[in-house]
Amino acid sequence: MAIEFKLPMLGENIKSADILKILVSEGDKVEKDQIVLELETDKATMEVPIEEAGTITKVLLKEGAKADIGAAVFTYEPASGDEKSDAEDSKKGQSKKETPKEEESKKETIKKEEDKKEELSVSSATNPKEDKGSAKEPDKSVNLITPLSANVTEMPDKIAPASPSVRRFAREIGIDIHSVRASGNNGRITIEDVKAYAKSMNELISSGGAGASGGGGSFYKETLPDFTKWGDIEKQPMSNIRRKTAEHLSYAWQTIPHVTQFEKADITELEKIRKQFGKKTEEAGGKLTVTAILIKVIASALKVFPQFNSSIDMEKNEIIYKKYFNIGIAVDTERGLLVPVVRDADKKNVIQIAADLAEISKKARNRKLSLEDMQGGSISVSNLGGIAGTYFTPIVNAPEVAILGVSRSAMEPVYIDGKFEPRLMMPLSLSYDHRIIDGADAARFIKWVVSALEQPFLLTLEG
């Protein structure tokens, strides 16, 4: 009997993935745990192994396709016996197809698929408890396996007022039945209630409101005009990275009251040092860039200004202060914007940071970044200095509360000691979350950063 290899649960909030590579083709024999797929989801690339050995019978999707979690990618014949019994099995399968029962069940699955399509497939994002349960399921590569503990036969404390078929339907589309509200009918949850809930969750997710505190709510939407009225157009599907970036930045923009503070740093002296020590850094595997130095400076600044290393929880009325110093760094790749994180920047020297930076940039460009590589940042840095521009207003990478934008440095006349001198000036743009950071704090923060850049020795004193 051929078994469908379905796209496994890949983690919280992940509804679909782009299939980068299918590493098997029809007739291939695969071993247990052999990597069969390369996927890209929400900015991370992952490899998916097969759980049992077998022979690939049919590949159902193409490379580059976008597939929902649970979609069949290929079918395979598990290695259960010799070739003969395999053949027998498939014959059995064929003759069976004609029986009405089989057809009926097929119809049912088609219907189910349609239902799912209608509601889109909501991931189990709604309930963190549920996520653990389902994440435990198939994929070892993301390492989400949790040990079993509870004994099932203890009856649950809470039984949702829904019939067994409705409870099963909710399971199948990944909805926690306990979060569905009954529409009436004496408090009983119907299949329509589950569908309506799934639909509302999808709308919430696509408006960027779900899964995070603060709540974006729904926004007025304008329908797009028919552009072909004005000339030729070309339509392309949005990549996962693009979609995620769009969702994430819309969410950040809608929930965070942004203010951007501008300043210039005189890096004439810093530039001399940078050139002087460049070779030494290269020997250590990195490049002594302004970004590397900035990361060190900002890590030190966060210690002086802890509110810049925090997150805000509006639901619980809490501010979360972080005791770690991880700096996110925006990397421009062929596939779009990625923000990997340099960890524990406070405990590393500039040379180590430079080496780290080289490593993660390489990973980002070779699509080897994992989701983990991009999580847990304290604050982010976006350096466009290599390209052009004077100032810009970066968007805070929520749930962080600040981001420092760096623009192209230029020689400028600076009035020093009664005369103009040519100095290398670097424009900085600090965007921050005004809910937690006051304007004066931001001005003090950027002043501290500028002084550190202008007098590198300050770092050794205060950092």
Partner 1 sequence: MSTKTELLVIGGGPGGYAAAFLAADLGMQVTLVDMEKHPGGVCLWRGCIPSKALLHIAKLIKEAEEAEKIGIKFGKPEIDVNKIREFKNGVVGKLTGGLGQLAKQRKVNFIQGKATFVNSTSVSIAKSDGTTETVEYNKAILATGSVPSKVPGLSIDSERVMDSTGALEMNDVPEKLLVVGGGYIGLELGSVYAALGSKVTVVEMTSGLLPGADRDLVAVLAKRVTSLMSAIYLDTKVVELKEVKEGIKVKFEGPKVTDPEQIFDKVLISVGRRPVTTGFGIENTKVKVNERGFVVVDKQMKTDDPAIFAIGDIVGNPMLAHKASAEGKVAVEVIHGEKSFFEPAQIPAVVFTDPELAWAGLTELEAKEKGIEVQIAKFPWGASGRATTLDRNDGLTKLIIEPGTERILGVGMVGVGAGDMIAEGALAIEMAANVKDLSLTIHPHPTLSETMMAAAEVFYGHATDMYRPKRK
Tell me which residue of 103, 117, 31 sits closest to 71, measured CA to CA: 117
Reply yes or no: is the peptide bond before residue 422 cis, omega within 30 of 0.
Answer: no
Nearer to partner 1 by Cβ, of 164 and 418: the residue is 164
Shortest separation between residue 184's beta carbon and partner 1, angstroms: 13
Supply the minimum distance, in Å, between the C-beta of residue 85 and partner 1: 7
Question: Dihedrals φ, ψ of 194, to 5°?
Answer: -65, -40
| C-alpha span between 349 and 297 (Å, rounded) | 10
Cβ-based nearer residue to partner 1, 105 or 349: 105
CB of 3 to partner 1, least distance (A): 7
Please write down the HEC assignment for all residues of 191-255.
HHHHHHHHHHHHHHHHCCCCCCCCCCCCCCCCCCCCHHHHCCCCCCCCCHHHHHHHHHHHHHHHH
**Cβ 65 to partner 1, closest distance in Å?**
20
Query: Hey, is 449 helix, strand or coil?
Result: helix
What's the gap between Cα 178 and its chain centre? 27
258 is catalytic: no
Q: What burial class does residue 340 get, using C-beta atoms within 10 Å of its C-beta: 0-12 exposed, 13-18 middle, 19+ buried? A: buried
Query: How many CA atoms within 13 Å lie on the side-chain side of 268?
Result: 10
How far is residue 433's CA from residue 255's CA, in Å, rounded to a whole number? 9
In angstroms, what is the minimal distance from the CB of 80 to partner 1?
4
Binding site for partner 1 (CB under 8 A): 1, 3-4, 6, 51-52, 78-81, 85, 89, 92-93, 96, 133, 136, 147-157, 159-164, 167-168, 171-172, 186-189
CB 424 within 8 A of CB 266: yes
Smallest separation, CB 69 to partner 1 (Å): 11
Cα–Cα distance, 447 to 428 (Å, whole number): 11
Residue of 178, 248, 258, 434 with catalytic role: 434
Q: How far is CA 216 from CA 158, 238, 259, 419, in A?
A: 30, 22, 19, 52
- Enumerate the active-site residues: 434
